[in-house]
């Protein structure tokens, strides 16, 4: 009884704090209400309260609902989960965010790091009620593997083993019969039957449908290999920043990012991309400003790669295998793109790069060949070239 009264009082006090501090985070609930979580209240430059709730050990897995204390009704600036790692190969153990999680509170940022997440970690619709709040999500170093997709269903065809009533004599010496197939006893068994089943495999993003205010999503340091078409649900159309760096991505399907109609910054650095198609984005694309492709395996860019990218300001494509800076690829957008980072490529500085002098675009990168221009900045080489 006494406990209930305390709960009620806390609840009222916390609700009062909403009124006092407007959009700022709530006061921390008493420690015993949220343990094994703990709460830190700090101030930041933009608000006097900044409330962070943290859980950083494996026990948290069984106490996810305690994040908002017994009373709930908290406004949490940041929820952090780290260190829930699965040590063996039992995939069922991997963390899934529970359904109706955080229902009692409102959360602005959720960060999960160094934790083994199930590829169905968003399947239970954990962000119900957060659609006006959740701005930033981080799932970094969480062992996410395979393809990133929205629905993720694939149809598999399976042979249904039909029991037949007819008996066929089995040849004893398989080798003899197989030499002349016509001697093989005719089977009167029915046509083979197949069963089609839909299975879901992949890191399912459809759990983001409630994150309608999401502006930033970080999926770095995982083992994502592939991005499917329309990998993100259309409801996350307010997403501005997407970080997919330090993964294992080699395939990006067409229209992969077209549902993200506000995307202005895409980080695909430190992956295994060898080629990239213009059609992964909308055309025209008037939102994308920064494209980071550093540390991939790109040797050639398609001629139309930057066509109708009306807002593109910065392209980082350092540490790839580019040799040429063809005007056909780059020139059409000059005057829009402000900086191009080509350092750490194997650039050949011949007369074909002379065109880069025509514009103000800042191009960083050193020549690799011919020898007399080796280690010279491309712009300086272009200026000294006599063609």
Stretch that binds ligand NAG, among 102-110, 201-209, 345-353, 355-363 (CB under 6 A): 355-363
Shortest spacing between CB 214 and ligand NAG, in angstroms: 23
Angle at 103 between CA 97 and CA 109, to 5 degrees: 65
Alpha helices in 113-210 (DSSP H): 174-179
User: Does 85 sit near ligand NAG (CB under 6 A)?
Assistant: yes
- In the bound state with ligand NAG, the residue whose beta carbon lies nearer, of 84 and 120, is 84
377 touching ligand NAG, by CB under 6 A: no
Question: Distance between CA atoms of 84 and 320, rounded to whole angstroms?
Answer: 35
Pairing of strands 265-267, 241-243: parallel
Quick check: 298 binds ligand NAG (CB under 6 A)?
no
Distances (CA, A) of 387 to 262, 349, 353: 44, 12, 10
Site size toward ligand NAG, by CB under 6 A: 18
Contact pick of 114, 131, 265, 303 for ligand NAG (by CB under 6 A): 114
Q: How far apart are the first and last CA of the chain?
A: 90
166-174, 211-219, 309-317, 356-364 -> range binding ligand NAG (CB under 6 A)? 356-364
Which residue in the set 335, 351, 362, 369 belongs to the binding site for ligand NAG (CB under 6 A)?
A: 335
**Segment contacting ligand NAG by CB under 6 A, of 101-109, 260-268, 309-317, 352-360:** 352-360
Q: Would you give the distance in Å from CA 53 to the centre of its chain?
A: 24
Q: Does 264 bind ligand NAG (CB under 6 A)?
A: no
Give the number of residues written for the chain.
387
Q: Is 58 in the site for ligand NAG (CB under 6 A)?
A: yes
What burial letters (b/e) apply to 345-354, b meaning 16+ CB within 10 Å?
A: bebbbbeebb
Question: What CA–CA distance (Å, rounded) separates 160 from 191?
Answer: 11
Distance CA 56, CA 39 (A): 12
Interface with ligand NAG (CB under 6 A): 58, 85, 87, 114, 141, 221, 223, 225, 248, 250, 274-275, 277, 334-335, 358-360
């Amino acid at each position: 009884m006494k406990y209930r009264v305390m709960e009620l009082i806390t609840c009222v006090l916390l609700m009062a704090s909403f009124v006092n501090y407007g959009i700022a985070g709530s006061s921390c609930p008493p420690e015993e209400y949220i343990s094994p979580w703990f709460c830190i209240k700090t101030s930041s430059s933009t608000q006097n309260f900044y409330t962070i709730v943290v859980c950083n050990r494996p026990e948290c897995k069984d106490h996810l609902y305690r994040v908002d204390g017994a009373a709930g009704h908290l406004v949490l600036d940041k929820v952090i989960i780290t260190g829930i790692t699965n040590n063996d190969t039992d995939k069922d153990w991997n963390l899934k965010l529970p359904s109706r999680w955080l229902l009692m509170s409102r959360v602005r940022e959720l960060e999960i790091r160094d934790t083994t997440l199930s590829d169905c970690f968003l399947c239970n619709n954990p962000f119900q009620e957060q659609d006006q709040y959740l701005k930033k999500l981080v799932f970094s170093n969480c062992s996410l593997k395979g393809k990133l997709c929205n629905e993720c269903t694939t149809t598999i065809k399976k042979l249904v083993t039909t029991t037949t009533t007819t008996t066929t004599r089995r040849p004893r010496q398989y080798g003899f019969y197989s030499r002349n197939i016509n001697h093989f006893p005719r089977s009167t068994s029915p046509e083979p039957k197949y069963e089609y089943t839909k299975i879901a495999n992949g890191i399912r993003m459809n759990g983001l449908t409630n994150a309608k205010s999401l502006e930033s999503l970080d999926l770095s340091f995982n083992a994502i290999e592939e991005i499917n078409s329309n990998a993100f649900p259309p409801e996350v159309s307010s997403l501005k920043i997407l970080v997919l760096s330090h993964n294992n991505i080699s395939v990006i399907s067409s229209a992969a990012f077209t549902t993200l109609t506000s995307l202005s910054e895409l980080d695909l650095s430190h992956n295994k991309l060898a080629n990239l198609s213009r059609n992964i984005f909308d055309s025209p694309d008037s939102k994308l400003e920064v494209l980071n492709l550093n540390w991939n395996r790109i040797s050639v860019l398609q001629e139309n790669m930057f066509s109708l990218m009306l807002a593109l300001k910065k392209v980082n494509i350092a540490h790839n295998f580019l040799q040429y800076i063809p005007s056909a690829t780059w020139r059409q957008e000059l005057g829009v793109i402000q900086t191009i980072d080509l350092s750490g490529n194997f650039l050949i500085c011949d007369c074909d790069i002379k065109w880069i002098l025509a514009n103000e675009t800042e191009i960083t990168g050193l020549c690799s060949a011919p020898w007399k221009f080796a280690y010279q900045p491309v712009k300086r080489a272009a200026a000294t070239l006599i063609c």
